[in-house]
Amino acid sequence: DSQRKKIEAEAAAIRDKGQSAVAIAVDVTDAEQVDNLVANTVMEFGALDIIVNNAGRWGRSHLAEETPLDEWRQVVDQNLTGVFIPCMAAGRQMIKQQSGKIINISSVVFWIDEIKTTSNLFNKIEREKLDIVIASRFLQKSQIKDLINLALNSVRCPVIV
């Protein structure tokens, strides 16, 4: 609920400056919520031009053999499924409108020794592979000649800001 209030305040601040903004809180691991987000965005603005996947979480520091399975599943669900679902939903819309940009923000985990936990390293590597798979599938399904203006990029973040 506090997150919802924060995004509503940000949207209000943007509107106060004369720009358009809508605040929609979404669980990125819930496909129905993400589909509704895309539909509401298209209804409000006429198209979905860009999506930035930046949701993610760190697991606790565990050795591989000590990592609790429920924690592993939560980290994988948030960091991988939570990227894949928005890419699918946005990708369907962008293919339909024949344009759009998908940007996936990668993790700092790979560069910071003290947080090299098993689940975090796995997610970092798999998230970058996921970008490649999604991009190739969109292009294959969509006939590359028809999708001159669709891009999928991963931004690596080597430092904590």
Q: Residue 9 corresponds to which tokens in the numbers above?
A: 């305040």
* pLDDT 10s digits, 8-67: 999 999 999 999 999 998 999 999 999 999 999 999 999 999 988 877 766 666 666 777
Number of neighbours of residue 58 by Cβ within 10 angstroms: 16
pTM of the model: 0.72
143: left (phi over 0), alpha (psi -120 to 50) or beta: left
- Angle (deg, nearest 10), helices 118-142 and 69-76: 40
* pLDDT 10s digits, 103-141: 877 665 555 555 555 555 555 555 556 665 666 565 555
Burial bucket for residue 82 (CB in 10 Å: 0-12, 13-18, 19+): buried
